[in-house]
């Protein structure tokens, strides 16, 4: 049964601070390290969300959303829609809370991510990308019951993601620009919600692959857009077919724009991060690094959010060699 989404509203600092306390036993304060890429500029720092327990930032929002469920909602079990990382986050948090979890997984999701969700106790229901994207809009899926936790358009999920922005400012007060991948928009909306209230002069930029860049198109047109030339790629954790109007509303006054990078730039960023820091970034996780390296975000200091590292090692090797 479809459930109407509540009105979009700003995430307050009090909500972000409360979320940080609420999720502290599930999500860690991840390291912020300098990327020594052998060039004078730009100055790039990496926020290593790939070191979270599920190797992706989604644990922040998922842990907060699950913790905020009423006892009645929890008893019904939870379900979400995911290419892998949100599903792992919700499954991890649900397991810790003793709640059943189902993930409607995009059928092109890497087997590595599907296996990790199963290992966390999630029941997997595969569906085509378009069916999943539609289900995220209407908030229901045939044959799946329980309490729906939206993988990005959820106030409590965004508040959990926002804790990442607070950590960046604590660890690098001189930051000028923060870049994060845009998929559904929950990560960048969360980061921006925190940073805009604490350090309003810091620029917040998205990063998208050339094969799926509805965010950049939306900023160009000043309204939420569909990306008609969408193509599936190894950047499976970001880049949708459209920007949901509700997420566009969340981004207003928070996000300054989005940088589009080529798949080759993403591959090079994945390789550079591996070479210089011995860190594995999945395609979506390297988007911010690729955008920073392009020079289009300025000289810095820039923080590129490495949003995840969930990629099959054989595939990773094929992409960077």
Indicate the DSSP class of residue 48.
Answer: E
Task: Report how far residue 132's alpha carbon sits from residue 38's, in angstroms, rounded to the nearest whole number.
Answer: 42
Where residue 107 sits, what CATH number does that domain have?
A: 3.40.50.1100
Has residue 300 been placed in a domain? Answer: yes
Are residue 173 and residue 258 in the same domain, yes or no?
yes
pTM above 0.85, yes or no: yes
- Phi/psi at 261 (nearest 5 deg)? -125, 155
What's the pLDDT tens digit per position in 261-311?
A: 999 999 999 999 999 999 999 999 999 999 999 999 999 899 999 999 999
Give SS3 for 80.
Answer: strand
Has residue 7 been placed in a domain? Answer: no
Q: At what angle do helices 313-320 and 263-277 cross, to 10 degrees?
A: 110
Are residue 169 and residue 39 in the same domain, yes or no?
yes
Has residue 202 been placed in a domain? Answer: yes
Residue that the structure tokens 């499976």 belong to? 236
Q: List the structure tokens of 259.
A: 């940088």
Q: Which domain holds residue 87?
A: 59-148
Q: Which residues are registered as beta bridge partners of 226?
A: 242
Are residue 23 and residue 87 in the same domain, yes or no?
no
The tally of domains found in the chain comes to 2
Q: List the structure tokens of 37.
A: 């890429």
What's the pLDDT tens digit per position in 75-123?
A: 999 999 998 899 999 999 999 999 999 999 988 888 888 999 999 999 9
């Amino acid at each position: 049964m479809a459930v109407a989404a509540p009105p979009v509203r700003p995430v307050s600092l009090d909500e972000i601070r409360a979320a940080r306390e609420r999720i502290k036993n599930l999500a860690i304060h991840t390291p912020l390290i300098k990327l020594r890429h052998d060039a004078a500029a730009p100055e790039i720092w990496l926020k290593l969300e790939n070191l979270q327990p599920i190797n992706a930032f989604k644990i922040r929002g998922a842990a907060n959303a699950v913790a905020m469920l009423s006892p009645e909602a929890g008893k019904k079990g939870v379900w979400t829609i995911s290419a892998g990382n949100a599903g792992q986050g919700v499954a991890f948090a649900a397991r810790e809370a003793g709640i059943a979890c189902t993930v409607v997984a995009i059928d092109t999701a890497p087997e590595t991510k599907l296996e990790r969700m199963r290992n966390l106790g999630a029941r997997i229901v595969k569906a085509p990308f378009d069916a999943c994207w539609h289900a995220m809009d209407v908030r229901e899926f045939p044959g799946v019951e329980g309490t729906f936790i939206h993988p990005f358009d959820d106030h409590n999920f965004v508040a959990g993601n926002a804790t990442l922005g607070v950590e960046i400012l604590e660890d690098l007060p001189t930051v000028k620009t923060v870049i994060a991948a845009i998929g559904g928009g929950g990560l960048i909306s969360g980061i921006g919600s925190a940073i805009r209230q604490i350090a309003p002069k810091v620029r917040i930029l998205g990063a998208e692959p050339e094969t799926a860049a509805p965010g950049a198109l939306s900023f160009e047109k000043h309204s939420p857009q569909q990306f008609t030339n969408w193509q599936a790629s190894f950047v499976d954790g970001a880049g949708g077919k459209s920007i949901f109007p509700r997420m566009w509303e969340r981004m207003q006054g928070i996000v300054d724009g989005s940088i589009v990078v080529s798949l080759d730039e993403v591959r090079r960023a994945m390789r550079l991060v591996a070479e210089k820091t011995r860190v594995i970034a999945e395609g979506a996780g390297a988007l911010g690094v690729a955008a920073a390296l392009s020079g289009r975000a300025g000289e810095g200091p820039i923080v590129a959010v490495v949003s995840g590292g969930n990629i099959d090692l054989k595939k990773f090797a094929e992409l960077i060699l």
